Structure 1
Amino acid sequence: MMNKSNEKRLFTEAPLGNTAQMLKVMTAAQFAALGAGDIVFWRQMNAGDLAQFVPQAGMAPADQPLELLMSADGAPVLIADSRDAILDWIEGHEVRLATLH
Protein backbone atom coordinates (compact mmCIF):
# COMPACT_ATOMS: atom_id res chain seq x y z
CA MET A 1 0.00 0.00 0.00
CA MET A 2 1.34 3.42 -0.94
CA ASN A 3 1.06 6.38 1.39
CA LYS A 4 0.30 9.89 0.19
CA SER A 5 3.84 11.27 0.39
CA ASN A 6 5.22 8.27 -1.51
CA GLU A 7 2.53 8.68 -4.17
CA LYS A 8 3.37 12.34 -4.71
CA ARG A 9 7.11 11.60 -4.84
CA LEU A 10 6.53 8.72 -7.22
CA PHE A 11 4.61 10.88 -9.66
CA THR A 12 6.65 14.07 -9.38
CA GLU A 13 9.97 12.27 -9.82
CA ALA A 14 8.86 9.99 -12.65
CA PRO A 15 9.76 10.91 -16.23
CA LEU A 16 6.67 12.09 -18.08
CA GLY A 17 6.46 9.01 -20.31
CA ASN A 18 6.53 6.63 -17.35
CA THR A 19 3.70 8.36 -15.50
CA ALA A 20 1.05 7.14 -17.92
CA GLN A 21 2.39 3.60 -17.66
CA MET A 22 2.26 3.78 -13.86
CA LEU A 23 -1.40 4.82 -13.97
CA LYS A 24 -2.21 1.69 -15.98
CA VAL A 25 -0.96 -0.65 -13.26
CA MET A 26 -2.47 1.10 -10.23
CA THR A 27 -5.37 -0.46 -8.40
CA ALA A 28 -8.62 1.50 -8.20
CA ALA A 29 -7.92 2.21 -4.51
CA GLN A 30 -4.43 3.53 -5.26
CA PHE A 31 -5.78 5.74 -8.03
CA ALA A 32 -8.55 7.11 -5.80
CA ALA A 33 -6.05 7.85 -3.02
CA LEU A 34 -3.94 10.08 -5.27
CA GLY A 35 -6.10 13.12 -4.65
CA ALA A 36 -7.48 12.26 -1.22
CA GLY A 37 -7.15 15.31 0.97
CA ASP A 38 -6.05 17.54 -1.92
CA ILE A 39 -8.90 17.35 -4.42
CA VAL A 40 -12.59 17.72 -3.65
CA PHE A 41 -15.73 17.33 -5.73
CA TRP A 42 -18.85 19.40 -5.10
CA ARG A 43 -22.38 18.57 -6.03
CA GLN A 44 -25.90 19.28 -4.91
CA MET A 45 -28.22 16.43 -3.93
CA ASN A 46 -31.50 16.27 -2.11
CA ALA A 47 -31.32 14.81 1.38
CA GLY A 48 -33.31 11.71 0.44
CA ASP A 49 -30.82 10.69 -2.25
CA LEU A 50 -27.82 11.62 -0.13
CA ALA A 51 -29.09 9.51 2.79
CA GLN A 52 -28.34 6.40 0.69
CA PHE A 53 -24.62 7.24 1.00
CA VAL A 54 -24.46 9.30 4.20
CA PRO A 55 -27.06 8.15 6.75
CA GLN A 56 -26.91 11.44 8.71
CA ALA A 57 -28.49 13.21 5.73
CA GLY A 58 -31.67 11.29 6.50
CA MET A 59 -32.30 13.67 9.41
CA ALA A 60 -33.24 16.42 6.91
CA PRO A 61 -36.50 16.44 4.93
CA ALA A 62 -36.06 14.16 1.89
CA ASP A 63 -36.61 16.95 -0.64
CA GLN A 64 -34.25 19.45 1.02
CA PRO A 65 -31.36 20.38 -1.28
CA LEU A 66 -27.95 19.88 0.33
CA GLU A 67 -24.47 20.71 -0.85
CA LEU A 68 -22.04 17.79 -0.72
CA LEU A 69 -18.26 18.07 -0.79
CA MET A 70 -16.41 14.78 -1.32
CA SER A 71 -12.75 13.85 -1.28
CA ALA A 72 -11.23 12.38 -4.43
CA ASP A 73 -11.46 8.94 -2.83
CA GLY A 74 -15.23 9.33 -2.44
CA ALA A 75 -15.30 10.04 1.29
CA PRO A 76 -17.75 12.77 2.33
CA VAL A 77 -15.90 15.87 3.54
CA LEU A 78 -18.74 18.30 4.24
CA ILE A 79 -22.50 18.40 3.95
CA ALA A 80 -24.00 21.88 4.07
CA ASP A 81 -27.28 23.60 3.38
CA SER A 82 -25.78 26.50 1.43
CA ARG A 83 -23.25 27.28 -1.30
CA ASP A 84 -21.71 29.91 0.97
CA ALA A 85 -20.87 27.30 3.60
CA ILE A 86 -19.10 25.17 0.98
CA LEU A 87 -17.21 28.15 -0.43
CA ASP A 88 -16.15 29.26 3.07
CA TRP A 89 -14.86 25.75 3.84
CA ILE A 90 -12.93 25.51 0.57
CA GLU A 91 -11.40 28.95 1.15
CA GLY A 92 -10.15 27.88 4.58
CA HIS A 93 -8.51 24.64 3.40
CA GLU A 94 -5.73 23.80 1.01
CA VAL A 95 -7.76 21.82 -1.50
CA ARG A 96 -8.49 22.05 -5.18
CA LEU A 97 -12.01 21.86 -6.48
CA ALA A 98 -12.40 19.44 -9.38
CA THR A 99 -15.29 19.59 -11.77
CA LEU A 100 -17.37 16.56 -12.61
CA HIS A 101 -17.93 15.84 -16.28
Structure 2
Amino acid sequence: MKPIEKTAFTDAHLGGSAEPLKTLTAAQFAALGAGDIVFWKKMVAGDLAEFIPQAAMAPAEQELELLMSADGAPVLIADSREAIMDWIDGHEVRLATLH
Protein backbone atom coordinates (compact mmCIF):
# COMPACT_ATOMS: atom_id res chain seq x y z
CA MET A 1 0.00 0.00 0.00
CA LYS A 2 1.19 3.52 -0.78
CA PRO A 3 1.84 5.67 2.32
CA ILE A 4 -0.97 8.08 1.38
CA GLU A 5 -3.48 5.20 1.18
CA LYS A 6 -2.37 3.72 4.48
CA THR A 7 -2.70 7.09 6.23
CA ALA A 8 -6.14 7.67 4.77
CA PHE A 9 -7.52 4.45 6.23
CA THR A 10 -5.66 4.27 9.54
CA ASP A 11 -6.38 7.88 10.52
CA ALA A 12 -10.09 7.71 9.68
CA HIS A 13 -12.87 7.31 12.20
CA LEU A 14 -14.16 3.76 11.90
CA GLY A 15 -17.85 4.32 12.55
CA GLY A 16 -19.04 2.44 9.44
CA SER A 17 -17.65 0.53 6.52
CA ALA A 18 -17.65 3.57 4.17
CA GLU A 19 -16.60 6.05 6.86
CA PRO A 20 -12.87 6.08 5.93
CA LEU A 21 -13.75 7.34 2.44
CA LYS A 22 -15.50 10.39 3.91
CA THR A 23 -12.25 11.65 5.42
CA LEU A 24 -10.09 11.42 2.29
CA THR A 25 -8.71 14.58 0.77
CA ALA A 26 -9.02 15.01 -3.00
CA ALA A 27 -5.36 14.01 -3.41
CA GLN A 28 -5.81 10.90 -1.26
CA PHE A 29 -8.91 9.88 -3.20
CA ALA A 30 -7.09 10.34 -6.51
CA ALA A 31 -4.29 8.11 -5.22
CA LEU A 32 -6.83 5.29 -4.81
CA GLY A 33 -7.15 4.96 -8.57
CA ALA A 34 -9.38 7.71 -9.92
CA GLY A 35 -8.26 6.83 -13.44
CA ASP A 36 -8.71 3.10 -12.90
CA ILE A 37 -12.16 2.99 -11.31
CA VAL A 38 -15.39 3.98 -13.06
CA PHE A 39 -18.91 4.32 -11.73
CA TRP A 40 -21.96 3.50 -13.81
CA LYS A 41 -25.36 5.01 -13.23
CA LYS A 42 -28.61 5.43 -15.17
CA MET A 43 -30.04 8.94 -15.25
CA VAL A 44 -32.65 10.79 -17.26
CA ALA A 45 -31.19 13.37 -19.61
CA GLY A 46 -32.96 16.28 -17.89
CA ASP A 47 -31.27 15.52 -14.55
CA LEU A 48 -27.92 14.77 -16.15
CA ALA A 49 -27.98 18.06 -18.09
CA GLU A 50 -27.82 19.95 -14.79
CA PHE A 51 -24.13 19.07 -14.49
CA ILE A 52 -23.21 17.85 -17.99
CA PRO A 53 -24.64 20.34 -20.52
CA GLN A 54 -24.21 17.99 -23.52
CA ALA A 55 -26.94 15.74 -22.08
CA ALA A 56 -29.46 18.48 -22.90
CA MET A 57 -29.24 17.41 -26.55
CA ALA A 58 -31.36 14.36 -25.66
CA PRO A 59 -35.05 14.56 -24.73
CA ALA A 60 -35.34 15.37 -21.01
CA GLU A 61 -37.10 12.09 -20.20
CA GLN A 62 -34.68 9.83 -22.11
CA GLU A 63 -32.76 7.39 -19.92
CA LEU A 64 -29.01 7.61 -20.39
CA GLU A 65 -26.14 5.56 -19.08
CA LEU A 66 -23.45 7.62 -17.33
CA LEU A 67 -19.93 6.39 -16.73
CA MET A 68 -17.79 8.54 -14.44
CA SER A 69 -14.22 8.34 -13.23
CA ALA A 70 -13.76 7.90 -9.48
CA ASP A 71 -12.70 11.54 -9.30
CA GLY A 72 -16.13 12.59 -10.63
CA ALA A 73 -15.11 13.42 -14.20
CA PRO A 74 -17.58 12.19 -16.83
CA VAL A 75 -16.08 9.46 -18.99
CA LEU A 76 -18.96 8.42 -21.24
CA ILE A 77 -22.64 9.16 -21.76
CA ALA A 78 -24.43 6.47 -23.73
CA ASP A 79 -27.97 5.50 -24.63
CA SER A 80 -27.49 1.77 -24.08
CA ARG A 81 -26.01 -0.72 -21.67
CA GLU A 82 -24.21 -2.36 -24.58
CA ALA A 83 -22.31 0.86 -25.38
CA ILE A 84 -21.12 1.08 -21.78
CA MET A 85 -20.06 -2.58 -21.75
CA ASP A 86 -18.20 -2.18 -25.06
CA TRP A 87 -16.30 0.82 -23.68
CA ILE A 88 -15.42 -0.98 -20.45
CA ASP A 89 -14.25 -4.06 -22.39
CA GLY A 90 -11.87 -1.87 -24.39
CA HIS A 91 -10.29 -0.16 -21.37
CA GLU A 92 -8.41 -1.32 -18.32
CA VAL A 93 -10.79 -0.08 -15.63
CA ARG A 94 -12.64 -1.52 -12.68
CA LEU A 95 -16.37 -0.99 -12.45
CA ALA A 96 -18.10 0.16 -9.29
CA THR A 97 -21.79 1.05 -9.04
CA LEU A 98 -23.59 4.05 -7.61
CA HIS A 99 -26.84 3.56 -5.74
TM-score computed with the length of structure 1 as normaliser: 0.75
Deviates more, 1:29-38 or 1:49-58: 29-38
String of CA shifts for 1:19-62, please: whole Å, max 9, x gaps: 622567742x1233132110000000010000001000001110
Which residue of 1 is the match for residue 17 of structure 2? none
User: What SS is found at the alignment partner of 1:57?
Assistant: helix
Tell me how far apart the structure 2 counterparts of residues 60 and 72 of structure 1 sit (CA, whole Å).
Answer: 25
Give the letter aligned to residue 67 of structure 2.
Answer: L
Specify the alignment match of 1:83 in structure 2. Answer: 81
Aligned twin of 1:40: 38
**Unaligned 5+ residue runs, structure 1?**
1-7
- Aligned residue for 2:27? 30
Q: Aligned equivalents of 1:94 and 1:11: distance in 2?
A: 23
* CA–CA separation in structure 2 for the residues paired with 1:53 and 1:31: 24
Please tell me whether residue 95 in structure 1 is matched to residue 88 in structure 2. no
Residue 10 (str. 1) matches residue 10 (str. 2) = no
Match of 1:56 in 2: 54
| Conservation of the 8 A alpha-carbon contact between 1:43 and 1:68 | yes
TM score, norm. by length of structure 2: 0.76
Q: Distance in 1 between matches of 2:60 and 2:9?
A: 43
Q: 2:9 aligns with which of 1, 11, 20?
A: 20
Q: Is the 8 A contact 1:40 1:97 kept in 2?
A: yes
Note the aligned Cα RMSD (angstroms).
2.3
The answer to whether the Cα contact below 8 Å between 2:78 and 2:84 also exists between their aligned partners in 1 is yes
